[in-house]
Structure 1
Amino acid sequence: MKEHIKILIIGIFVVIASCNKREPEPTPTQTVCDPTYNAQIKPIIDNKCALSGCHDVNTTVADFTKYSELKSRADDSKLRQYVLEQRIMPPTTTTQLTQEEEDLFKCWLDNGAKEN
């Protein structure tokens, strides 16, 4: 008889434990970061960097009207260093990047500075 009571108590416990409806843990939402060069990055470069006297076709330093030149600066980390870390580009005499532009630019660099 005692054995039946133990089995009954264990059975009740199992039933109660299995009835506990647990909500799944919410997964943290991730911001999708996939800016495209032509749609989002090039307009920033054209308006803030590839200007006359800065990084245009007449520049000896870096012609950012060409993706290949911009990509080479991205690959050697100079772009990140000057724009995002030291914040010396664009120079303070021109319009600075907005926070949204900085975020897009950082995301683009973090994802390999692709021409897409």
Structure 2
Amino acid sequence: MQPLPSLACFLSRILPVLAGLWVWAGCAYHTEEELYPLDPNCQTEAITYTANIRQLITTNCALSGCHVAGTGRANLTTYAGVKQVADNGLIRQKVIVEKSMPPSGPLSACEISQLDAWLRAGAPEN
């Protein structure tokens, strides 16, 4: 008959397994939408430059010294200028992915959702 293993030996084998199960049980995956639900009043359907995006750009981007004519940066004072940076992916990269623009801080969740919906729809003017 074999001797029973010591309690220390038993614990040294079972504790790592139990700790691993405890950590694994605590893991959860949540999408950003689940963690930070969008304001139910945020309209993300039928977004157009004229109705929605122009005001967002004028307020946050096309400011004196920023994205206006003569600054050497993208001119976002017209639909054509905004459409150009929408088509080449700069708006998505800087505003939605990196959240590095505007320099004053990221847009609200609703504004980002509207901008994303507009870009996904092909950046329509009207």
- Scaled by the length of structure 1, the TM-score of the pair is 0.67
CA RMSD of aligned residues (A): 1.6
**Contact in 2 for aligned 1:84/1:106 (Cα 8 Å):** yes
Shift, 1:36, TM fit: 1.7
Residues 1:33 and 2:35 are matched in the alignment: no
Q: Which residue of 2 aligns with 1:104?
A: 114
Please tell me whether Structure 1 or Structure 2 has the larger radius of gyration of its CA atoms: 1
Q: Cα distance 1:42–1:32, how it changes in 2: closer, same or farther (>3 A)?
A: closer
Contact 2:95 2:106 in 1 (8 A): no
Alignment of 1:11-22 (within 5 A): none
Percent identity at matched positions?
39
User: How far did 1:32 drift?
Assistant: 6.2
Q: Report how many aligned residue pairs link the two structures.
A: 84
Instruction: State the distance in 2 between where 1:85 and 1:70 align.
Output: 17
Unaligned runs of 5+ in 1: 1-30
In 1: Cα distance, 2:67 partner to 2:115 partner = 17
Tell me the CA shift for residue 57 of structure 1.
2.1
User: Quick check: 1:89 aligned with 2:71?
Assistant: no
Residue 36 of structure 1 contacts residue 115 of structure 1 at CA under 8 Å; is this kept in 2? yes
What residue in structure 2 maps to residue 114 of structure 1? 124
Where does residue 3 of structure 2 map in the other structure?
none
The letter for the 2-side match of 1:77 is G
TM-score, structure 2 as length reference: 0.62
> Structure 2 unaligned runs (5+)?
1-42
